[in-house]
A and B are shown apart, each in its own frame.
Chain A
Amino acid sequence: MGNLLEIKNLKVEFHLDERVITAVDGAYLNIKENEVVVLAGESGSGKTITALSICKILPRNAHIVWGVINLAGREMLCLNENELIKIRGKDIAYIFQEPVSFLNPVYTIGEQIIEVIKLHQGKNKKEAYEETIDLLKKVRIWEAKRVFQSYPHQLSGGLNQRAFIAMSLACNPKLLIADEPTTSLDVTIEKEILDLLLELKNKLKFSLLFITHNLSIAQKIADRIFIMYKGRVVEEADSQELFKSAKHFHTQELLSAYERIGRI
């Protein structure tokens, strides 16, 4: 089976006032259809920048120097902004670390979900409303109507993240990119969100690129794992295999720390 997404030799630089920092330096990655791939690494290893590069939603001072990002046969880096905005939110969707700050504080949850449905599916207000309520129920928000009318700051972190997932899945994306979606949540909520994501993935058949620093999560959900270190992918392995025999010294270091304190 072919790859849904393939990244090769990606290099991303940040242009600061006086210097240039290379955040990603020759990273590669591939994801098959309906697969869960975990991109793991410590802070500053370039995971998030790699993920944001896929849809070119990088910070202003970040520049993709070179690389290939291929989504189902389309060369993403050759597309212009008008072509890209048709892919963002429709074929590829994102969820992020702190749902409260990644949701716009001045719009209700409902308004933010309806916005993406109207944008990509051209539905009218009533249809979009009904679909939004459906979506919220799909992510197991029972009080869908109340959440619909709520602003992000009025909801808990867990509830916000569920709503965010609903928003991301509104247009049935082929690829969901989840950037540390549970890091800001308590462990008990974390488990609920992970279970929900895996369940939805099996039901809706999308590929999941999951970014985390938490090897315990990686072990639980991944089909394959890529380890990033200083802007490079230093190891790629099947989930089972990685925890048995890591090759790169950084992976070994990570695993030894993980063995001691990362799990119970």
Chain B
Amino acid sequence: MLSYLIRRLLGIIPLLLGITIISFAIIHLAPGKPTQIEQAFNPKVSQEVRLRLEKLYGLDKPLHIQYINWLVKLGKFDFGRSFIDERPVAEKILERIPITLTINIFSLILVLLIAIPLGVKTAVKAGSAFDHALTILVFLLFAAPTFWLALLLMQLLSIQLGWLPISGLKSLDFEYFSFGKKILDLAHHLFLPILVSTLGGFAGLTRYIRSNMIDALKQPYIYTARAKGLSQEKVIYKHALRNAILPVVTIIGLSIPGLLGGSVIFESIFAIPGIGRLFYEAVMSRDYPLIMAEVVLGGVLTMLGNLIADIAYGYVDPRIKYKR
């Protein structure tokens, strides 16, 4: 087990290198130097600043030297400073992480709470009217772009019914609220983003659990469980569900890139100051150190997510051996 962990951890080194190389390549091989673009789009950047920047980022040196210098800095968690406000990139990203994390964790919990029972139910009643109705809903949710769902729900819940704020995270007078009211205010603002994010996520997972469950219910060991005299509920929830649900652990890991990518659109619509919106702002203002940092961060987070999911899967599923 320990040697497996060590081997897996060693295995991420080439991946990490690959992630940094690709991130570096994308930005440096794309036509046009970042600083030129910076100048073109942002007239505030003078010729002098440009030269200073070029020197600062070592853009006058050969590419491989630039890469190694950048890598060394990355190793020290030095992502450079933002072009826009000269603040350290690491600081800017760190302050945005909690809100993105909160939304995604809440919606993930909701997705699991909805998708697992629905998946099981549709599998057990496969072919019923309930199953068909849910299948249609799942296809519709699958096909609807999240940002469109967001717009529709804003129109309905915020504008026509006036129940929820349209966007943002806090009310204007947030600072004067009592603690309890602050929490309520946050919840009020986060309700719609979490709802939309949940709607976008649960369709796929319901479908996945349904097909896993249908598969599990056909397995030979189900006959054994029934032959033992177990009740229908025990057969389903003890013997089939455990087998059907184990791979979900990896799905959660695999969903990280989608969630990060989705957060860009998502947080822009709802004006939520998370890392997705930060990335969008960075792209719009060609804030090159910030873009680089977020691309690397996205890659590393995804990789870690997969790694943790893999290890967790090996832990919960006895069939996976810690060998090879």
Co-assembled chains A and B:
yes
Which residues in chain A, 82-117, are within 8 Å of chain B measured between CB atoms?
85-90, 93-94, 96, 98, 101-108, 115-116
Q: Are A88 and B226 in contact (CB under 8 A)?
A: yes
Q: How far is the CA of A52 from the CA of B222 in the complex (A)?
A: 13
Of all chain B residues, the one with the shortest Cβ separation from A85 is B229
Task: Verify if B221 is at the interface (C-beta below 8 Å from A).
Answer: yes
Q: How far is the CA of A104 from the CA of B318 in the complex (A)?
A: 11
Q: Are A151 and B318 in contact (CB under 8 A)?
A: yes
- Given A106-B318, A151-B319, A153-B319, residue A101 in contact with residue B221 (CB < 8 A): yes
- Given A106-B243, A106-B246, A151-B318, residue A116 in contact with residue B228 (CB < 8 A): yes
Inside 8 A of B226's CB, which chain A residues have their CB?
55, 57, 88
Q: How far is the CA of A86 from the CA of B246 in the complex (A)?
A: 30
Q: How far is the CA of A108 from the CA of B318 in the complex (A)?
A: 9
Of all chain B residues, the one with the shortest Cβ separation from A167 is B228
How near does chain B come to A215, taking the closest CB pair, in angstroms? Answer: 25
Q: Are B223 and A102 in contact (CB under 8 A)?
A: yes
Q: Are B317 and A57 in contact (CB under 8 A)?
A: no
Q: Are A105 and B221 in contact (CB under 8 A)?
A: yes
Most chain A C-beta atoms within 10 Å of own C-beta, residue among B225, B228, B243, B246 = B228
How near does chain B come to A93, taking the closest CB pair, in angstroms? Answer: 7
Q: Are B223 and A57 in contact (CB under 8 A)?
A: yes
Q: Are B319 and A102 in contact (CB under 8 A)?
A: no
Q: Are A93 and B319 in contact (CB under 8 A)?
A: no
Task: Verify if A119 is at the interface (C-beta below 8 Å from B).
Answer: yes
Q: Are A101 and B319 in contact (CB under 8 A)?
A: no
Task: Verify if A81 is at the interface (C-beta below 8 Å from B).
Answer: yes
Task: Verify if A120 is at the interface (C-beta below 8 Å from B).
Answer: yes
- Given A96-B224, A98-B220, residue A104 in contact with residue B229 (CB < 8 A): no
Number of A residues near B (Cβ < 8 Å) is: 30
Contact size class for B? 20 to 34
Q: Are A94 and B318 in contact (CB under 8 A)?
A: no
Task: Verify if B160 is at the interface (C-beta below 8 Å from A).
Answer: no
Q: How far is the CA of A44 from the CA of B318 in the complex (A)?
A: 34
Which residues in chain B, 199-231, are within 8 Å of chain A measured between CB atoms?
218-221, 223-231
Q: Are B227 and A93 in contact (CB under 8 A)?
A: yes
Task: Verify if B239 is at the interface (C-beta below 8 Å from A).
Answer: yes
Q: Are B227 and A57 in contact (CB under 8 A)?
A: yes
Option from B219, B232, B239, B317 in Cβ contact (under 8 Å) with A101: B219
- Given A94-B224, A96-B220, A96-B224, residue A105 in contact with residue B318 (CB < 8 A): yes
How near does chain A come to B55, taking the closest CB pair, in angstroms? Answer: 60
Inside 8 A of B221's CB, which chain A residues have their CB?
101-105
Task: Verify if B7 is at the interface (C-beta below 8 Å from A).
Answer: no
Q: Are B318 and A102 in contact (CB under 8 A)?
A: no
Q: How far is the CA of A153 from the CA of B232 in the complex (A)?
A: 26
Q: Are A88 and B243 in contact (CB under 8 A)?
A: no
Q: How far is the CA of A119 from the CA of B223 in the complex (A)?
A: 17
Option from A108, A116, A151 in Cβ contact (under 8 Å) with B229: A116
How near does chain B come to A114, taking the closest CB pair, in angstroms? Answer: 11
Q: Are B318 and A52 in contact (CB under 8 A)?
A: no
Task: Verify if B132 is at the interface (C-beta below 8 Å from A).
Answer: no
Q: How far is the CA of A116 from the CA of B220 in the complex (A)?
A: 17
Task: Verify if B242 is at the interface (C-beta below 8 Å from A).
Answer: yes
**Per-position binary interface string of chain B over residues 240-263, scored 1 when its CB falls under 8 Å from any chain A CB and 0 otherwise:** 001100100000000000000000
Inside 8 A of B318's CB, which chain A residues have their CB?
105-106, 108, 151, 153
Inside 8 A of A87's CB, which chain B residues have their CB?
229
Option from A52, A105, A115, A153 in Cβ contact (under 8 Å) with B223: A52
Q: How far is the CA of A35 from the CA of B231 in the complex (A)?
A: 30
Inside 8 A of B242's CB, which chain A residues have their CB?
104, 106-107
Most chain B C-beta atoms within 10 Å of own C-beta, residue among A59, A85, A106, A151 = A106
Which residues in chain A, 156-189, are within 8 Å of chain B measured between CB atoms?
167
Q: Are A104 and B243 in contact (CB under 8 A)?
A: yes
How near does chain B come to A63, taking the closest CB pair, in angstroms? Answer: 15
Q: How far is the CA of A43 from the CA of B294 in the complex (A)?
A: 61
Q: Are B228 and A81 in contact (CB under 8 A)?
A: no
Q: Are B319 and A119 in contact (CB under 8 A)?
A: no
Option from B225, B229, B231, B243 in Cβ contact (under 8 Å) with A105: B243
- Given A101-B220, A103-B221, A151-B318, residue A88 in contact with residue B227 (CB < 8 A): yes
Inside 8 A of B319's CB, which chain A residues have their CB?
105-106, 151, 153
Option from B229, B232, B243 in Cβ contact (under 8 Å) with A89: B229
Q: Are B232 and A81 in contact (CB under 8 A)?
A: yes
Inside 8 A of A101's CB, which chain B residues have their CB?
219-221
Q: Are A104 and B246 in contact (CB under 8 A)?
A: no
How near does chain A come to B53, taking the closest CB pair, in angstroms? Answer: 57
Which residues in chain B, 41-78, are within 8 Å of chain A measured between CB atoms?
none
Q: 5 tightest A-B contacts by CB? A: A89-B229, A88-B229, A89-B228, A94-B227, A104-B221
16 contacts between A and B (CB under 8 A): A52-B223, A57-B226, A85-B231, A89-B228, A89-B229, A93-B227, A101-B219, A102-B223, A102-B224, A103-B221, A104-B225, A104-B239, A104-B242, A106-B243, A106-B246, A119-B230
B-side residues, CB < 8 A to A, are 218-221, 223-232, 239, 242-243, 246, 317-319
A-side residues, CB < 8 A to B, are 52, 55, 57, 59, 81, 85-90, 93-94, 96, 98, 101-108, 115-116, 119-120, 151, 153, 167
Known: A104-B239, A105-B221. 11 other contacts (CB 8 A): A57-B227, A89-B227, A89-B228, A94-B223, A94-B227, A104-B224, A104-B225, A107-B242, A120-B229, A153-B318, A153-B319
